[in-house]
Amino acid sequence: MKTITIDPITRLEGHGKISIFLDSKGDVENTYLQIPELRGFERFCQGRRAEEMPQITSRICGVCPVAHHFASTKALDDAFNVEPTSAAKKLRELMYCGYMTYDHILHFYYLAAPDFVVGPDAPPEKRNVLGVIEKAGLEIGKEVIKHRAYGQKITAILGGKATHPVCGLPGGVSKGLSMEEVKEIENMGKSCVEFAKFSLKLFDDIVLKNKNYVDLILSDPYTLKTYNMGLVDKNNKVNFYDGKIRVTDQQGKEFLKFDVKDYYKNIAEHVEEWSYIKFPYLKGIGWKGFKDGKESGIYRVGPLGRLNAADGMSTPLADKEYKKMYETLEGRPVNSTLAFHWARLIELLYAAERTMELIKDAEITSKNIRNPVGEPGEGFGVIEAARGTLIHHYKLDKNGLIDKANLIVATTNNAGAINMSIRDAAKDVIKKGKINDGLLNMVEMAFRAYDPCFACATHTLPGGMPLEVSIYDSNKKLYRSIKRL
Amino acid sequence: MKPGVGIFGFTGCAGCQLEILNLEDILLDLPSVVDIINFRMAKSENLDGPLDISFVEGSIMKYQVGELKKIRKNSKILVAIGSCACYGGVQYLQNFIEKPWKIVYNDKKMKYASPDTKSLSSYVKVDYSLPGCPIDKEEFVDFLKSVLLGRKPKMKSYPICVECKLRENDCLLEKGTICLGPVTVAGCNSKCPNNNYACEGCRGPVEEANISSQAELMKEKGIDPVDLIRRFRMFTSGAKEFQEAKA
């Protein structure tokens, strides 16, 4: 069994590249998702002041800087042996809900909705957010933009700026909230609750009332029976900011529940020479190749992984929607990759409801926002990024400098599953060397449901992702290449 | 005829391009004043040119040089946006390190070459720079307005401290933290110090930045010289002035 090394792994940057290999009959033998670039974060963090880490690591990603910022801050709390004040924890979580709001809106409306609202077979020039607005109406388009901006504003009020915020410090946060700011956030939060309810209704009307879409969601090429992982609170409800890492099996039963400190006892990473991305798996089960099922250690994270790994949502409206999803899709866990989109909207509602709970908390204007730090040591931080469980692990030397850093990034956790989803979608559309014209989009849909963030650059907004699909024949000779920018 | 605009991204976090998309209300008005010819992050049909203004984000790895030169050739004005394009960004730190992948992948032989990352101006002529990590949305809009009105865009020639003082923030430098406000070019409205967070110099050096006097000042405050050098090498370690900082 491969053991995890605490050596730095490296965050990946670049466009997605998919290689599909055919056998002698012209059927799909294998697919490879490659990430051919490297930026080297964990390496150049060595020797830095630990306090710089929330700033440096947020630069990994322009889409989810807040996730890195706080995973890092939490690792610093632990490394400096300090418990943040109760108010500081609430302020961090509040800011985090703002981030989840804008990120989930971005993904659903800009990236995913073109497939469902405009349709998977619509011409590519219509399959973008403008096509969505055209079909759903300009008023809705304005609401989408407005509420995404609200998420950003909530983040910026607490973080100074929404992209690469400056907020988290070991033991607390840099700034508290004024009464005016509380009022402002409350108004935005209220509106976000309504918008999230509206989004779920839109999903219901356009997707769930269309039998073709429901059939597509439940179809085999879009189904994977993997383990699921996510953070849960003490009642096993979904929590973005804190809790224990819970893994459930193919029957929805708890398989593991552990503190982030024990992540390396439970997760190992498999390296394939053809990609810079590493493939994490459950150590207790082992790496069995790109297979799903009980015998394979591959697991999924992200909105659907989180909902599958929990017993419900802690806020009332989101919990109702949670139950509805499982009733509609025949019980927990749901293994349909395309249900990630539904789960994402349920989480959007949870983020808005949670914003309201936190902003109404009497402690939210407290000035007691930071505790003094202790001696430097080793620290673990975990948070649920929009795309899934994110772990930062640092070892500090006695001067508080980074000796070693290891990051397990959300998308990396999904790497094995994404590779399989791409393979299954490709197998479905390529038969006897005949390449179905819908190939690219069907493959993309499998890929897109995870909201992959191999690079933020791959996080293309409306329309096509920068994606290159190369198809090789049984002699490994390039047979056809399709590029879409 | 509306001027043709292209927005491109190379190696970086895409945060600057996203900041343009985060302009929200203004974004919907943009198409009425400019023709967005190429913005791969936001639209599917993109042309190479001709372009009146190109905004380019990200640092350049060797294999991207050809693509960058093509953009330069097709553009009347080329603007570097963000610290990566202006100075090589945080990943420029990699240039100070040998063989990072060895440590990362336990010597397992990877197919890909060593990364090498530089600013745009290392390879092509850059007409204007809008620094920052990420760029400042308002500064971007001001810049665009100037160009559209045919005015020469005015770049800031004073440090962050000016903006910070105007907001009557408590001076973080006086509290003994390493704040790069005095040597960093203004334009962000001192966002980090406003949030009680010291300036990290993400916008790069101000004209005639007095680095040695900053170093002296920090030493007087009891800051470890190594920490000071480290601070200069964060998001803009590719800037010559910061790279040459001595403590």
Q: Do A59 and B235 touch (CB under 8 A)?
A: yes
Q: What is the pLDDT of residues A78-96, one digit of tens each?
A: 999 999 999 999 999 999 9
Q: What's the average model confidence in pLDDT over A419-436?
A: 81
What local confidence, expressed as pLDDT, does residue A483 receive?
A: 54
Residue A308 pLDDT more than 80? yes
Residues 137-166 of A with CB under 8 A from B: 145-146, 148-149, 152, 159-164, 166
Q: Is residue A62 one of the residues assigned to a domain? A: no
Q: Is residue A233 one of the residues assigned to a domain? A: no
Q: What is the pLDDT of residues A370-392, one digit of tens each?
A: 999 999 999 999 999 999 999 99
CA distance A108 to A254: 29
Q: Do A62 and B17 touch (CB under 8 A)?
A: yes
Peptide bond just before B50 cis, omega within 30 deg: yes
Q: Do B18 and A5 touch (CB under 8 A)?
A: no
Q: Do A125 and B44 touch (CB under 8 A)?
A: yes
Contacts of B89 in chain A (CB under 8 A): 59
**Domain over B4-148 is classified CATH 3.40.50.700:** yes
Q: Any chain A CB within 8 A of the CB of B192?
A: yes
Closest residue of A to B95, CA-based? A44
The alpha carbon of residue A225 and the mean position of all alpha carbons in its chain are separated, in whole angstroms, by 19
Q: Do A48 and B96 touch (CB under 8 A)?
A: no
Do A342 and A193 reside in the same domain of the chain?
Answer: yes
Do A28 and A88 reside in the same domain of the chain?
Answer: no
How far does B197 lie from chain A, in Å, by closest CA?
6
CATH for A170: 1.10.645.10
Q: Is residue A463 one of the residues assigned to a domain? A: yes
Q: Any chain A CB within 8 A of the CB of B224?
A: no
Q: Is residue A321 one of the residues assigned to a domain? A: no
A382 or A115: which leads in pLDDT: A382
Residues 121-180 of B with CB under 8 A from A: 133-134
Q: Between A and B, how many residue pairs show a Cβ–Cβ distance under 8 A?
A: 164
Residues 429-468 of A with CB under 8 A from B: 455-457, 459-464, 466
Q: Which two tokens mark A242?
A: 């804190």
Instruction: Choose among B21, B27, B115: nearest Cβ to A38.
Output: B115
Do A21 and A168 reside in the same domain of the chain?
Answer: no
In order along its 247 residues, chain B shows pLDDT tens digits of 899 999 998 888 888 988 998 887 787 788 889 988 888 777 666 788 899 999 999 998 887 899 999 999 999 999 999 999 999 988 888 777 655 444 444 444 444 445 578 999 999 999 999 999 999 999 999 999 999 999 988 889 999 999 999 999 999 988 888 999 999 999 999 999 999 999 999 999 999 888 888 888 888 888 888 888 888 889 998 898 888 877 6
Residues 19-38 of B with CB under 8 A from A: 19, 21-22, 24-25, 27-28
Residue A475 pLDDT more than 90? no
Q: Is residue A123 one of the residues assigned to a domain? A: yes
What percentage of chain A exceeds 70 in pLDDT? Answer: 85
A7, A11, A38, A271, best to mutate vs chain B, most B CBs in 10 Å: A38
Instruction: Choose among B15, B61, B103: nearest Cβ to A43.
Output: B103
CA distance A393 to A232: 20
Look at chain A and report how many structural domains it folds into.
2
B197, B202, B229, B235, best to mutate vs chain A, most A CBs in 10 Å: B197
* Confidence band of A464 (pLDDT split at 50, 70, 90): very low
Amino acid at B243: Q
Residue A259 pLDDT more than 90? yes
Closest residue of A to B41, CA-based? A460
How far does B20 lie from chain A, in Å, by closest CA?
12
Instruction: Choose among A40, A162, A273: nearest Cβ to B94.
Output: A40
SS3 A418: helix
Q: Could you give the ipTM of this predicted complex?
A: 0.90
Average confidence score pLDDT of chain A: 85
Q: Which two tokens mark A81?
A: 């042996």
Closest residue of B to A39, CA-based? B91
Q: Do B106 and A7 touch (CB under 8 A)?
A: yes
Residue A39 pLDDT more than 90? no
Domain residue limits at A118: 83-222+336-371
How far does A274 lie from chain B, in Å, by closest CA?
7
A228 or B210: which leads in pLDDT: A228
Do A210 and A114 reside in the same domain of the chain?
Answer: yes
Q: Which two tokens mark A477?
A: 């000779």
Residue A98 pLDDT more than 50? yes
Do A28 and A95 reside in the same domain of the chain?
Answer: no
How far does A124 lie from chain B, in Å, by closest CA?
8
Q: Which two tokens mark A478?
A: 């390039």
Do A209 and A88 reside in the same domain of the chain?
Answer: yes
Burial of A356 (C-beta count, 10 Å sphere; 0-12/13-18/19+): middle
Residue A11 pLDDT more than 50? no
Distances (CA, A) of A296 to A275, A284, A345, B129: 20, 10, 29, 51
Last residue of a domain, one of A351, A371, A391: A371
Residue A458 pLDDT more than 50? no
* Confidence band of A104 (pLDDT split at 50, 70, 90): very high
A276-288 in b/e form (b: 16+ CB < 10 A) is: bbbbbbbbebebe
**In 3D, which of A383, A144, A85, A374 has the Cα closest to residue A243?**
A383
Do A33 and A136 reside in the same domain of the chain?
Answer: no
Q: Is residue A295 one of the residues assigned to a domain? A: no
What local confidence, expressed as pLDDT, does residue B48 receive?
A: 87
Instruction: List where CATH 3.40.50.700 sits in chain B.
Output: 4-148
Neighbours of B107 (CB within 10 A): 10
CA distance A216 to A351: 28
> CA dihedral defined by A245, A250, A254, A256, rounded to 10 degrees?
-50
Q: What's the average model confidence in pLDDT over A154-183?
A: 95
SS3 A430: strand
Do A10 and A151 reside in the same domain of the chain?
Answer: no
Q: Which two tokens mark A364?
A: 């939210």
Instruction: Choose among A166, A174, A460: nearest Cβ to B40.
Output: A460
* Confidence band of A12 (pLDDT split at 50, 70, 90): very low
Do A214 and A107 reside in the same domain of the chain?
Answer: yes
Q: Do B13 and A152 touch (CB under 8 A)?
A: no
What local confidence, expressed as pLDDT, does residue A45 receive?
A: 84
Q: Do B12 and A62 touch (CB under 8 A)?
A: yes
Do A25 and A157 reside in the same domain of the chain?
Answer: no
Q: Do B133 and A466 touch (CB under 8 A)?
A: no
Considering A218-232, A275-289, B214-228, the range whose residues carry the highest mean pLDDT is: A218-232
Do A100 and A185 reside in the same domain of the chain?
Answer: yes
Q: Is residue A191 one of the residues assigned to a domain? A: yes
Do A95 and A34 reside in the same domain of the chain?
Answer: no
Contact call for residues B193 and B164 (beta carbons, < 8 A): yes
Instruction: Choose among A56, A164, A463: nearest Cβ to B134.
Output: A164
Q: Do A37 and B112 touch (CB under 8 A)?
A: yes
The beta strands (E) that lie in chain B are given as 4-9, 35-39, 51-57, 60-61, 75-81, 117-118, 128-130
Q: Is residue A406 one of the residues assigned to a domain? A: no
CA distance A238 to A232: 5
Instruction: Choose among B12, B24, B105: nearest Cβ to A149.
Output: B24
Q: Any chain B CB within 8 A of the CB of A15?
A: no
* CB neighbour list of residue B166: distance below 8 Å, 6 or more residues apart: none
What local confidence, expressed as pLDDT, does residue B111 receive?
A: 43
